Structure 1
Amino acid sequence: MNKLSNSGFRFALAGVLTLGLLVAGGKPAAAAETPPVTLSTAQLKAIAEEGFVYGLPLVMNYAIMNEYAVNKNTDQFKAPFNHIKNEPRVYTYKDTAVLSPNSDTPYSLAWLDLRAEPVVITVPEVDSGRYYSVQLVDGNLYNDGYIGSRATSNKAGSYAVAGPDWQGGSPEGVGKVFHSTTPFMLVIFRTQLFNPKDMPSVEKIQAGFNIQPLSAFQNKPAPAAAPVIDFLPATSAGVKTHFWSYLSAALNYIPESDKDKDIRAKLAKIGVGPGKAFNMNSLSQEQQQAMAEGMKAGDAKVDEFVARGATDVNGWQVGSLWGDSDFYNGDWLKRAGGGKAGIYGNDAAEAMYLLGRTDAKGQTLDGSKHNYTLTFPAGSLPPVNAFWSVTMYYSDSQLLVENPINRYLVNSPMLPDMKKNADGSLTIYMQHKSPGKDKESNWLPAPDGPIYLALRMYWPKPATEDSSVLPPGKGTWQPPGIVVAN
């Protein structure tokens, strides 16, 4: 799902939650009283800055988990744990929980609860030539593995996913065991849709996706159920105001590791951690100000990293900020950059995301000021094994753009219906108003204001090919720049 915000978070000191949290076992724990903070304002600011960078993607993920799998009263709710929610549609401007969602592949989503036993994911055979993927993302925001066209082929199969406490071996009947570093994991199924009439075929594939406990898969007695958890309520909109309370809640379900033990020890000094309740009111005005300044500094550091962590190629930012535990290796700034740029992004081998906020001359894209074109020369479309797309977003919210023709992207399956230029090149018209009926087949509606674009390349050609976007920022293929229309 995916990408990029330079607008930054704005933090309010008033109204920060001071609620008690719950331990992983599920029974209410009395809020640990926060001892008087004796740290200096400089120390507080430093911890807040480092803690924000470490915690941002964890907090975002915790809020989305609440909206998708816990709070049935939210309009973003999908399904309870260990159940699949198939979306027989592509995402639109009405989908607001996740930044920069794709609108290419109907999603199927499932949050796994791995505390009692592993869960088995079964996929059907998918017709040749149709891309699909199953991405496994744990609470640390690590991509722990893939099932699908690139990773395991389009053949049918069953795969087990085990939590951090699982001690068993490889169960009989499964092709592979994936290991999550946390007891809760998000599974994102993406199934390629060729055109609106193709939706019944996608729905048939989605109906073949199945999730079940290992015991049910093996027809064995189930182990004791894990305790019910009364999660601290959280929303994506609340991340700004309730950051530290959400972070404490998220850390209840993220086992400490050698990589993060130092930052977690620092957070504990200000009352943030498993079973703790951060109380902003326990701090003096000077200390509260230091915390706010530290958070803003951390946010600015993340934005700066995202801006410089990619290579500028003709105005597009080309890079990759998503991967597994080894990919991040304790680099919390890189992980925060991935969360801020577009949470739940894929590994580069699975999908590349080229992000655009400026034209080829480095000027900010703005649909209220200009019309734009993007032209791929003949024979130089994005090199992929699956498909590519260019998706339009509002720059400030990173959500899909409401428009009169309900078109949120232009992608390679649309090529037969698009018009090519006399020289064989392909021009996409990106503007707020229609470019005219004769050009509407190539029109990507833009907002009446700042623009944010994502060029997605699913299953990009490997670096060994003559034309490839890989390795990120250094590939032999380069995207053309966006230009102001004449």
Structure 2
Amino acid sequence: MLNNIVGLILLVLIFQGCKPKEDHVPTDKEINDAYTYMLGRYIVLRQENNDINVEKVGYNKIKYNPLGSAQFVNPNMDVAYLECWLAVDSSHAVILNVPEVKDRYYTAQLLDGWGEVITNINERNYPDHPFGKFALVIKGTNPPNIGDAVKIELPSAKAKMLARVELKGSPQEAVKLQQAFTLNVPEGIKIDPPVKVPEFTNAKLIGAAIFDKPDAILNSYPDPMPEAARYQALTKRVAAYMLTSDSAAAHVEEVVQKQAIPAFMEGAKGFGTQKGGWSVSYVAGKFGNDIMARDIINYGGLWANVITEAIYFVGLTDSGKQLLHGDNVYEIRFPKGEWPDAAVNAFWSVTLYSVPDYHVVNNSLMRYSINNVSGLKPNPDGSKSIWLGSTKPPGSDDVNWLPTPAGKGFALTFRMYVSKPEVLDGKWFPAPIQKK
């Protein structure tokens, strides 16, 4: 009899051990937080997989984008671009050669696997060595092929480089400088392929499948976020919970689809500090513990720079908080003496994009942006206006008109390069986007 009782107790204990303890069942908020945390890395991995496996760009091969090229997300039409997926290992460094650039903006921006900025190579950050050779190495290693190059430590074996040279009215000179950014790549670098992720788009984001292989995703790149360890433990907890039963997996999927994704989309609409139809985040490129900001910026403008280099004001609505639409006419009017030129040390531009994919909008003028060298004509009172419409608004000058897509929504990005303190401190905003 005693043996039977003991046996029953053991069976109960074994059965209870197979079930998730109540304190191991994540709350809906925890599922939301884990999803939001992982989405930032998935967006970067999606881009790496596309570039390496679909576009076949390869690692350590610079792509010199032709002037006017706009076949990528959130392009800046005022610079000569070059980009590259960099890859090193503990025994090999890659040498980046940066040309001497005078009297125009330039930077070689290095980013990590979460979309956070590692460094910008330019005269502001490296005043004693603004050009020349830079050795890219894994943190803590000292490969033999560095020579006299300035060593730049990467957090892991891979990094993304985006370099920009301002056109500044002389595109041919900008292209010459663009082509002078080169790499010295030693043989024998061991490169892991990108971690594969399910296909998803900005219009249809990944669901609970984001938790399918947390170890592979999280081990693929270190996260500089101060609270990364807490979020990663939470992510693994949600993933483990999903494996306990079909109903647990269904519950996580339901929370993701009905709460996490809608909350993200709503957050993207009302993101950052807002005024006059514009919104701005002052944490771009270095996100602290703001997982939502990192997601939104990776989603809408992957590879954003730190605000001391470039600050981005995003326009999704007019000053009346209505979504921008190509069937309407809008005016952005800067009062006399308040033109953006006075608020930057380098240059500024405003570019128009389709939504939700953030590509430039084709138009008959082949005009995608207006900037500080566009030669805008002033109004009679000395103010200056940027006009938005699918056809030229009545009374506007051709050079002041930025074409919009008829019948479709659009977004604006107002870039300020090397802004003055009043911009970084939030005291300066672009003029409001006014529906006419």
What TM-score results when the alignment is normalised by the length of structure 2?
0.82
RMSD of aligned residue pairs (Cα, Å): 3.3
Is 1:232 the counterpart of 2:168? The answer is no
Is 1:64 the counterpart of 2:47? The answer is yes
Is 1:469 the counterpart of 2:416? The answer is no
Cα deviation digits, residues 381-401 of structure 1 (max 9, x gap): 111111111111223333221
Secondary structure in 1 matching 2:299: helix
Alignment of structure 1 residues 1-80 onto 2, 5 Å? 38=20, 43=26, 45-68=28-51, 70-71=52-53, 74=54, 76-77=55-56, 79-80=57-58
Cα deviation digits, residues 197-244 of structure 1 (max 9, x gap): x4332221122101224xx5xxxxx6x532654752665638526534
Cα distance in 2, alignment partners of residues 295 and 171 from structure 1: 49
Secondary structure in 2 matching 1:457: strand
Cα distance in 2, alignment partners of residues 65 and 296 from structure 1: 28
Cα distance in 2, alignment partners of residues 405 and 381 from structure 1: 24
Alignment of structure 1 residues 350-369 onto 2, 5 Å? 350-368=309-327
Contact 2:325–2:410 (CA under 8 A) maintained in structure 1: yes
Contact 2:136–2:152 (CA under 8 A) maintained in structure 1: yes
CA drift at 1:155: 4.9
Cα distance in 2, alignment partners of residues 246 and 379 from structure 1: 55
Equivalent in 232, 250, 268 of residue 288 of structure 1: 250
Is 1:118 the counterpart of 2:93? The answer is yes
Q: Where does residue 285 of structure 2 map in the other structure? A: 323
Equivalent in 127, 130, 143 of residue 104 of structure 2: 130
Cα deviation digits, residues 38-85 of structure 1 (max 9, x gap): 4779627455322211111110101111122x21xx3x44x3111211
Kindly tell me: are residues 437 and 381 of structure 1, through their superposed partners in 2, closer, same or farther at Cα, counting changes over 3 Å?
Answer: closer
Cα distance in 1, alignment partners of residues 62 and 267 from structure 2: 35
Alignment of structure 1 residues 36-435 onto 2, 5 Å? 38=20, 43=26, 45-68=28-51, 70-71=52-53, 74=54, 76-77=55-56, 79-92=57-70, 95-96=71-72, 98=73, 100-116=74-90, 117-126=92-101, 128-152=102-126, 155-164=130-139, 166=141, 171-175=146-150, 177-195=151-169, 198-213=170-185, 216=186, 225-226=189-190, 229=193, 231-232=195-196, 235=199, 237=201, 240=206, 243-245=210-212, 249-255=216-222, 259-271=227-239, 283-285=245-247, 287-294=249-256, 296-303=258-265, 305-306=267-268, 310-324=272-286, 327-328=287-288, 330-368=289-327, 370-382=328-340, 383-415=343-375, 418-435=376-393
Cα deviation digits, residues 296-320 of structure 1 (max 9, x gap): 5333444455556522222211332
Indicate the structure with greater helix content. 2
Cα distance in 1, alignment partners of residues 434 and 82 from structure 2: 36
Contact 2:121–2:130 (CA under 8 A) maintained in structure 1: no
Secondary structure in 1 matching 2:423: coil
Count how many residue pairs are aligned between Structure 1 and Structure 2.
410
CA drift at 1:425: 1.8
Cα distance in 1, alignment partners of residues 429 and 222 from structure 2: 41
Cα distance in 2, alignment partners of residues 131 and 252 from structure 1: 36
1:482 maps to amino acid:
I
CA drift at 1:360: 2.4
Cα deviation digits, residues 229-262 of structure 1 (max 9, x gap): 4752665638526534586653342147874233
2:131 maps to amino acid:
A
Cα distance in 1, alignment partners of residues 157 and 257 from structure 2: 28
2:402 maps to amino acid:
L
1:120 maps to amino acid:
I
Quick one: percent identity of the two aligned structures? 26
Equivalent in 401, 409, 412 of residue 450 of structure 1: 409
Q: Where does residue 433 of structure 2 map in the other structure? A: 482
Gaps of 5+ in 2: 1-17
Cα deviation digits, residues 406-443 of structure 1 (max 9, x gap): 1111111212xx32222322111100112369722111
Kindly tell me: are residues 233 and 364 of structure 1, through their superposed partners in 2, closer, same or farther at Cα, counting changes over 3 Å?
Answer: closer
Cα deviation digits, residues 142-174 of structure 1 (max 9, x gap): 211101254336953222222245257995422
2:107 maps to amino acid:
S
What TM-score results when the alignment is normalised by the length of structure 1?
0.74
Contact 1:59–1:246 (CA under 8 A) maintained in structure 2: no
Kindly tell me: are residues 305 and 178 of structure 1, through their superposed partners in 2, closer, same or farther at Cα, counting changes over 3 Å?
Answer: farther
Cα distance in 2, alignment partners of residues 105 and 260 from structure 1: 34
CA drift at 1:264: 2.4
Q: Where does residue 8 of structure 2 map in the other structure? A: none
Kindly tell me: are residues 54 and 445 of structure 1, through their superposed partners in 2, closer, same or farther at Cα, counting changes over 3 Å?
Answer: same
